[in-house]
C-alpha cells in the first residue's frame, strides 16, 4: 500500500490552524486532532476550481453531500444510508447539540463515557441537559468496553440520552456489534436516545470490525441518531460540514424539529470538499490508514525503548493514543509537565474526565516518523532529568 507521507515540519509551521498557532515554535504540538498529511489531491482540486469560479456563496442544502455520502458509507462502512434521511450542518458538535435540544428536556440527564472527548461535557450542558458520567470499563492492559449495566442504571435513574463515541476518542476502542445491539435494546426499553458521534468511523484499521450504530438493529434505528463528517478522515475540520443521519420515523421526526438554519451552517467549501472526499478520496484514505498503522506501531516501539514505564495500548481506530504516564511521576496532569520540561504538547488527560484521566495524556500520532521519534526522545530526556 502506498503511504501518504506527512508534510515536513518547516512547511507545517507555516499552517495557521489551531494546532500550529497554539504553541511557540520550539514546541512539538501533538494534542489537537489535526493530521499532518497533505490534503488529498481531489479535494484540493475541487476547492481550487471553486475559487476559480468564485463559488463562495451559501451551500445549497443537504442533498448534494448526502447523495455523495450514501455510496461512500455503503462501500466503506457497510451502512445503507437514505439520502432523504440526512440533514447537513456545520460540524459534528453542532449536530450533537441540536439533536439533544429537540430530543431531551432541559435538565434531563445525558450519559457520557469518560475518558471522553472533552467537548462532550460542554455539548450536553450547551443543550440544556445535565452530564451523567458512566466511565468505560477495563483499561490499557485488557482493553475497554461500555459499562452496559451502569448505562442501564443511569437510564433507570432518569437519564434520557447517551452520547456514544463510535469509534471512541481518545481510546481508539471500537465497540462490537453485540455491545451496540445491547446498548440499543437498553435505550429503547427506557425510551432514551443514543446520539452516535461516528466522525472517526472511516479511520478504523483494516481487519477491525467496525459497526455504524444505525446498522445494528431496528432498536438502534429507533433509538439512534448518527452524526458524522468527512472532517477527521480527510482533515477538513476547518471547512465546516457534517451530516445528521436517521434511520426511523422517530429519528426523522427529530430532524424535522431542527431549526431550518441548522443546515445553512454548513459552509460551501465544506460541502465541496466533503463531496470530493466521499466520491474521489478512497485511494488517499487507504494510504493514510497505512501511514497511521505504521505510526501507531512505531509509537509502541519508541515507548518500549525510551519510556518503558509508560503504558499504551495499540488503538484499533483514530490517530490518537491514550497514554498512562503515571510511572514518570509527573502528577495528575503529566501533559503540563511534558510541555514545560520537554516542549511537547499533549492533550491533558484530566480534561477527558477527572475521575479517570489523572496521570494520562492524549497524543496525536498522525505525523511523520521524525516528529514522533523526536517527541518521545524529548519526553524520555525529560523523564531522565526528573529521576536525577
172 and 159 in one domain?
yes
- Of the residues 280, 301, 326, the one at which a domain ends: 280
State mean pLDDT over 136-143.
Answer: 96
137, containing H or E segment: strand 137-139
145 and 16 in one domain?
no
Per the domain annotation, does 1 fall within a domain?
A: no
Per the domain annotation, does 163 fall within a domain?
A: yes
Torsion, CA 188, CA 190, CA 193, CA 198, rounded to 10:
-60
With CA atoms as reference, report the closest residue to 199 among 234, 223, 224. Answer: 234
pLDDT in the model for residue 385: 83
Q: Is the pLDDT of residue 106 over 60?
A: yes
Residue 169 and residue 353 in contact, taking contact as beta carbons nearer than 8 Å? no
Q: What is the CATH classification number for the domain harbouring 195?
A: 3.40.640.10
41-52 helix and 268-280 helix, angle to the nearest 10 degrees: 140
Mean pLDDT of the chain: 97
The total number of structural domains in the chain stands at 2
CA distance 52 to 46: 10
Quick: pLDDT tens for 34-57. 999 999 999 999 999 999 999 999
State mean pLDDT over 352-376.
Answer: 97
293 and 149 in one domain?
no
State mean pLDDT over 147-153.
Answer: 98
249-257 helix and 92-103 helix, angle to the nearest 10 degrees: 100
Per the domain annotation, does 3 fall within a domain?
A: no
Quick: pLDDT tens for 263-276. 999 999 999 999 99
Q: Is the pLDDT of residue 183 over 60?
A: yes
149 and 220 in one domain?
yes
217 and 319 in one domain?
no
116 and 14 in one domain?
no
138 and 192 in one domain?
yes
1 — pLDDT class (breaks 50, 70, 90)? confident
CA distance 114 to 343: 27
Quick: pLDDT tens for 345-359. 999 999 999 989 999
Across the strands, what pairs with 138? 144
CA distance 274 to 239: 9
CA distance 80 to 294: 31
pLDDT in the model for residue 262: 96
Residue 30 and residue 367 in contact, taking contact as beta carbons nearer than 8 Å? yes
Three-class SS state of 209:
coil
- Of the residues 228, 249, 280, the one at which a domain ends: 280
pLDDT in the model for residue 386: 73
Q: How many CA atoms lie within 13 A of 201 on its CB side?
A: 28
294 and 250 in one domain?
no
Residue 36 and residue 288 in contact, taking contact as beta carbons nearer than 8 Å? no
- Of the residues 232, 251, 280, the one at which a domain ends: 280
Q: Around Cβ 287, how many Cβ atoms within 10 Å? A: 17
pLDDT in the model for residue 387: 61
Per the domain annotation, does 2 fall within a domain?
A: no
Question: Residue with C-alpha cell 512547511?
Answer: 11
Per the domain annotation, does 351 fall within a domain?
A: yes
Question: Residue with C-alpha cell 484499533?
Answer: 316
Residue 288 and residue 140 in contact, taking contact as beta carbons nearer than 8 Å? no
Q: Is the pLDDT of residue 196 over 90?
A: yes
51 and 29 in one domain?
no
Q: Which domain holds residue 319?
A: 9-38+283-387
316 and 187 in one domain?
no
387, containing H or E segment: helix 369-387
Residue 101 and residue 126 in contact, taking contact as beta carbons nearer than 8 Å? no
CA distance 163 to 112: 6
pLDDT in the model for residue 388: 55
With CA atoms as reference, report the closest residue to 70 among 78, 61, 80, 62. Answer: 80
68 and 151 in one domain?
yes
Per the domain annotation, does 380 fall within a domain?
A: yes
Cis peptide before 184 (omega within 30 of 0): no
CA distances from 103 to 116, 130, 136 (A): 22, 13, 24
Per the domain annotation, does 303 fall within a domain?
A: yes
Per the domain annotation, does 4 fall within a domain?
A: no
Secondary structure percentages of the chain, helix, strand, coil, to 5: 50, 15, 35
216 and 69 in one domain?
yes
Q: Is the pLDDT of residue 138 over 60?
A: yes
Amino acid at each position: 500500500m502506498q503511504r501518504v507521507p506527512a508534510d515536513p515540519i518547516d512547511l507545517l509551521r507555516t499552517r495557521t490552524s489551531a494546532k500550529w498557532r497554539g504553541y511557540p515554535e520550539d514546541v512539538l504540538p501533538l494534542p489537537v486532532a489535526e493530521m499532518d498529511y497533505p490534503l488529498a489531491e481531489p479535494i484540493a482540486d475541487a476547492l481550487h476550481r471553486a475559487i476559480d469560479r468564485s463559488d463562495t456563496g451559501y451551500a445549497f442544502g443537504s442533498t448534494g453531500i448526502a447523495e455523495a455520502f450514501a455510496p461512500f458509507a455503503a462501500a466503506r462502512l457497510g451502512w445503507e444510508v437514505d439520502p432523504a434521511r440526512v440533514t447537513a450542518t456545520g460540524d459534528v458538535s453542532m449536530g450533537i447539540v441540536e439533536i439533544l435540544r429537540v430530543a431531551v428536556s432541559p435538565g434531563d440527564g445525558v450519559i457520557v463515557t469518560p475518558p471522553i472527548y472533552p467537548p462532550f461535557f460542554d455539548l450536553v450542558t450547551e443543550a440544556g441537559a445535565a452530564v451523567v458520567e458512566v466511565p468505560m470499563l477495563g483499561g490499557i492492559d485488557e482493553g475497554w468496553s461500555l459499562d452496559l449495566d451502569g448505562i442501564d442504571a443511569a437510564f433507570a435513574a432518569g437519564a434520557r440520552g447517551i452520547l456514544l463515541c463510535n469509534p471512541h476518542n481518545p481510546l481508539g476502542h471500537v465497540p462490537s456489534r453485540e455491545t451496540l445491539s445491547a446498548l440499543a435494546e437498553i435505550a429503547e426499553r427506557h425510551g432514551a436516545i443514543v446520539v452516535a458521534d461516528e466522525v472517526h468511523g472511516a479511520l478504523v484499521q483494516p481487519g477491525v470490525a467496525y459497526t455504524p450504530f444505525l446498522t445494528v438493529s431496528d432498536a438502534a434505528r429507533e433509538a439512534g441518531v448518527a452524526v458524522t463528517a468527512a472532517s477527521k478522515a480527510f482533515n477538513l475540520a476547518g471547512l465546516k460540514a457534517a451530516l445528521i443521519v436517521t434511520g426511523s420515523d422517530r429519528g426523522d421526526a427529530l430532524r424535522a424539529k431542527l431549526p431550518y438554519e441548522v443546515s445553512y451552517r454548513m459552509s460551501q467549501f465544506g460541502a465541496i470538499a466533503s463531496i470530493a472526499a466521499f466520491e474521489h478520496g478512497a485511494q488517499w484514505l487507504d494510504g493514510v490508514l497505512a501511514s497511521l498503522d505504521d505510526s501507531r506501531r512505531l509509537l509502541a516501539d519508541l515507548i518500549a525503548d525510551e519510556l518503558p514505564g509508560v503504558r499504551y495500548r495499540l488503538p484499533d481506530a483514530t490517530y490518537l493514543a491514550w497514554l498512562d504516564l503515571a510511572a514518570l511521576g509527573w502528577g495528575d496532569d503529566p501533559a503540563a509537565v511534558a510541555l514545560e520540561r520537554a516542549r511537547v504538547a499533549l492533550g491533558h488527560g484530566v480534561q477527558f474526565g477527572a475521575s479517570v484521566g489523572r496521570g494520562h495524556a492524549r497524543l496525536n500520532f498522525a505525523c511523520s516518523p521524525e516528529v514522533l521519534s523526536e517527541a518521545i526522545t524529548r519526553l524520555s530526556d525529560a523523564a531522565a532529568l526528573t529521576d536525577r
